[in-house]
Chain A
Amino acid sequence: MFALAWANLMHHKLRSLLSALAVGIGIMLMLVSNGLATGSLAEVDQRMQSVDAELVILPAQDNIIFTGGAPFRRGHEQHLCQAADERGPLAAEVIPVFFGQVKMGGQQQRLFGVDPRQMAAFLGPRRVLAGKLFERAGAFCDRLRAGEAAAPSLSDPAYQAFIADGLELVIDQRLQRVGGYRLSDELQIMGQVFRIVGIIETGVAGRVFAPLQTLREIALAGEPSASMYFVRLRPGLDPVAAADFFQRGLGSDVRVELKSDYGRLLRESFAQVSLYLNASSGVALSACFLFILLTMYTTVIERTREIGILKSLGVGRGGLLRLSINEALLISLGGVAIGMVLAFLVRGVLLVYKPLLTVELAGRGLAAAVIVGVVGGVLSALYPGYRAARLDPAVALSAE
């Protein structure tokens, strides 16, 4: 039956190829859209995990992917710093991050506003490849911290001189390569001109860093707000218990999470989008399998006499159904193969034109494609196969 199925497909090469191509395009859509989602999420998660901290403090309501603004105030930061047990403060370091937006390397990037003195927590073992980490900006922040420099009002001509030292950026190497940036390149962010002063190894939490204090000055006139915090705990503390403790102190509009849970939180935040993604690739795939169904159905009509011949040879209803399923499976598995090749091609093209996107094409997605192919193939063969099986042998034989 398998050889016969193959022969039948080969007899209509173009039609078989087109059906397989239709499935392939659907599979490619599924693989790329899911691969893009999982790849991007995994990459963001990996980068967040690189921060030397155990806890993350996030706004309770927010979707952590599309989080914006800086809902945390001075009080939150104080609580995090001061929470203590009998042996002292729980936090060894509280690391506020203020998120901004910047368009670099052809797409919107999340700008990480970080205190220059806390860059070590982000850098970890990674190296500074060129330039320095916020040399002048560091001094600027120290002056602000010491209360030496009070900000003039924005309209004051002295404001530019005041803020100038703080307008520094540090970027990672991937973004530097993709955008072709060099040290001293200038970029407009929130109405100010920033200068790239350092390039660090890829893998750090953000692709673009700016001094926390600078962003606070520009956006909030120096208000010590934050979009989130990382907390590095005193050595020996149980992170779960500590998280609990902070959570109780901060109340319900804040959520304290283990950093190791960040990936899960990302995926949860993405669930709605991925529902939409899955639904749309599902619709695309259904259309593709309808195409197989149509092909198989046409085949049954065309081959009525052949089905009569098979029946005269003693092929039963099950055999004819299997024949139909085999043909559809061959088409759909061919389609899966085509879809995989196309997906890798699309990823290659994206890598050239959108190098900052990560498309993950690995085990689970590919296995899902095979399963979708098999299930779709079998389903789309059932009705045509049933029609073939039901044909009256004598009538089928007399067909033209």
Chain B
Amino acid sequence: MNDELMIDVRDLHHAYTHGGVVEPVLHGIGLHVQRGEFVVVMGPSGCGKTTLLNIIGLMLTPTRAETVRVAGCETLGLDEALRTRLRRDALGFVFQRFNLLRTISVRRNVALPLGLRGMAADGPVDDLLARVGLAGMAHKKPGQLSVGQQQRVAIARAVVGRPALLLADEPTGNLDSANAAAVLDLLSEVHRADGQTIVMITHNEQLAVQADRVLHMRDGRILD
């Protein structure tokens, strides 16, 4: 065991079952990510990237694996309450569809992870909103923002609690190139300034250049 590893996945298999049909998706994945690394995962649609990210993010339980250690914690066999705790305390997510809560304000969205940990505070939230260039938008509802702004709110929400690991699933997939570049700059900045460990899925070769390492996936396997 190496505690420098943020992610230590070995021989990970996953299959979905729907309507009695078993569809194997991941075939013996091995993945090591160091603390402070910015890793990009690329691969064609349907190759299993999201499935892998969901397993690392404790949103999905794998069919079988030798080990799935995340943030220094073996997640195999963990009960739901502990998985929830780990998600809350150690992980941040950024999704292609932003996934902001539309009934509450931008500030409340960003403050949510802090509130859940019982550390509600406006100061860090406002600082962070200023940092992502949305200082004046705190009171608006997500629906009143442009898509680029929404994704920046989502990034602010993902990092506000200083999670050990940030997982981003095609965060630029719904953005035009200018907004995509801005979002990527933001992620790189968080990585550089805060030493944030990031695993990001993307289709876009150009976005991958900022990463420390690029992994290619195909048909449920990581290529060397």
On A, residues with C-beta under 8 Å from B are: 3-4, 7-8, 10-11, 305-306, 308-317, 319, 392-394, 397
Knowing A306-B101, A312-B99, the reply to whether A393 touches B113 (Cβ < 8 A) is: no
In the bound complex, CA of A314 to CA of B82 (Å): 10
- Assess whether B135 is interfacial by the CB under 8 Å rule: no
A3 CB contacts on chain B under 8 angstroms: 104, 108
* B89-A317 in contact (CB<8A): no
Q: Tell me how far the C-beta of A309 lies from the nearest C-beta in chain B, rounded to whole angstroms.
A: 5
In the bound complex, CA of A312 to CA of B112 (Å): 12
* A316-B80 in contact (CB<8A): yes
Q: Tell me how far the C-beta of B71 lies from the nearest C-beta in chain A, rounded to whole angstroms.
A: 13
* A314-B104 in contact (CB<8A): no
B108 CB contacts on chain A under 8 angstroms: 3-4, 7
- Which among B91, B95, B104, B113 has the highest number of chain A CB atoms within 10 Å? B104
Q: For residues 57 through 103 of chain B, which have their beta carbon under 8 Å from a beta carbon of chain A?
A: 57, 59-60, 80-81, 84-89, 91, 93, 95, 99-103
A306 CB contacts on chain B under 8 angstroms: 101
A-B contact pairs, 18 of them (CB 8 A): A3-B104, A4-B104, A7-B103, A10-B103, A309-B100, A309-B101, A312-B93, A313-B112, A315-B84, A315-B116, A316-B88, A317-B80, A317-B84, A392-B60, A393-B60, A394-B59, A397-B59, A397-B95
In the bound complex, CA of A181 to CA of B157 (Å): 75
In the bound complex, CA of A306 to CA of B81 (Å): 19
B85 CB contacts on chain A under 8 angstroms: 314, 316
* A309-B59 in contact (CB<8A): no
* B84-A316 in contact (CB<8A): yes
* B57-A312 in contact (CB<8A): yes
Over the window 105-129 of chain B, the binary record of Cβ atoms lying under 8 Å from chain A Cβ atoms (1 yes, 0 no) is: 0001000110010000000000000
Given contacts A11-B102, A309-B100, 4 further A-B contacts (CB under 8 A): A4-B104, A7-B104, A11-B103, A310-B101
A10 CB contacts on chain B under 8 angstroms: 103
In the bound complex, CA of A332 to CA of B207 (Å): 51
- Assess whether B174 is interfacial by the CB under 8 Å rule: no
Q: Tell me how far the C-beta of A330 lies from the nearest C-beta in chain B, rounded to whole angstroms.
A: 13
Q: Tell me how far the C-beta of A33 lies from the nearest C-beta in chain B, rounded to whole angstroms.
A: 38
In the bound complex, CA of A394 to CA of B116 (Å): 20
A310 CB contacts on chain B under 8 angstroms: 101
* B87-A312 in contact (CB<8A): yes
- Assess whether B34 is interfacial by the CB under 8 Å rule: no
Interface range for B: 20 to 34
In the bound complex, CA of A166 to CA of B57 (Å): 95
B93 CB contacts on chain A under 8 angstroms: 312-313
- Assess whether B179 is interfacial by the CB under 8 Å rule: no
A392 CB contacts on chain B under 8 angstroms: 60
- Assess whether B188 is interfacial by the CB under 8 Å rule: no
| Smallest CB gap from A10: residue in B | B103
Q: Which of A314, A319, A393 contacts B89 (CB 8 A)?
A: A314
| Smallest CB gap from B117: residue in A | A314
| Smallest CB gap from A305: residue in B | B99
| Smallest CB gap from A12: residue in B | B103
* A311-B84 in contact (CB<8A): yes
- Which among B59, B85, B89 has the highest number of chain A CB atoms within 10 Å? B59
In the bound complex, CA of A359 to CA of B121 (Å): 50
- Which among A312, A316, A393 has the highest number of chain B CB atoms within 10 Å? A312
In the bound complex, CA of A70 to CA of B215 (Å): 101
In the bound complex, CA of A31 to CA of B213 (Å): 69
In the bound complex, CA of A309 to CA of B104 (Å): 13
B101 CB contacts on chain A under 8 angstroms: 4, 7, 306, 309-310
In the bound complex, CA of A48 to CA of B116 (Å): 61
In the bound complex, CA of A319 to CA of B112 (Å): 13
B112 CB contacts on chain A under 8 angstroms: 313
* A311-B87 in contact (CB<8A): yes
In the bound complex, CA of A393 to CA of B93 (Å): 13
In the bound complex, CA of A393 to CA of B80 (Å): 11
* A394-B54 in contact (CB<8A): yes
In the bound complex, CA of A10 to CA of B99 (Å): 19
* B87-A397 in contact (CB<8A): no
In the bound complex, CA of A10 to CA of B108 (Å): 15
* A312-B84 in contact (CB<8A): no
